[in-house]
Structure 1
Amino acid sequence: MVSARGGRFGFVYRSRHAAYRALRRKGMSKSKAARISNAGRSFAGRSRMARKGHRRH
């Protein structure tokens, strides 16, 4: 299970555990996957990611 302890144990919001696990399955590091999955917690965060992804195409 994803850690919810925080600090050096890492932290991922419960609502974002599925996103975190998907990123980890793709071979991403724990810290990078946690940073990305936590960034998408709010609507604004998800919108920012969607716009960033769209700019690449």
Structure 2
Amino acid sequence: MVSDRGGRAGFVYRTRWDTYRALRRKGMPKSKAARISNAGLFRPGRVRMARKAARTRQRRGR
């Protein structure tokens, strides 16, 4: 279950729960999914991730 409690329960911002669940459905570990979800809380973080994803896709020829 996603938690906004913190501590041993882990922590994911409430507004990012949908993103966290989507990453978990893809088979990502809890810690990594939480790290990515929390990084996208504000717009600059999402923009940074989008640019990184675009570079990755370009490098892989997609």
Please report the TM-score for the alignment, with normalisation by the length of structure 1.
0.94
- 5+ residue gaps in structure 1? none
Determine what percentage of the aligned residue pairs are the same residue.
Answer: 72
Please report the TM-score for the alignment, with normalisation by the length of structure 2.
0.87
What is the CA distance between 1:33 and its match in structure 2? 0.3
- Give the root-mean-square deviation of aligned CA atoms: 0.8
Q: Which has the larger radius of gyration?
A: 2
What is the CA distance between 1:9 and its match in structure 2? 1.1
- 5+ residue gaps in structure 2? none
Number of residues of Structure 1 aligned to a counterpart in Structure 2: 57
What is the CA distance between 1:5 and its match in structure 2? 1.2
Q: Which fold has the larger relative contact order, with Cα–Cα distance below 8 Å and residues 6 or more apart in sequence?
A: 1
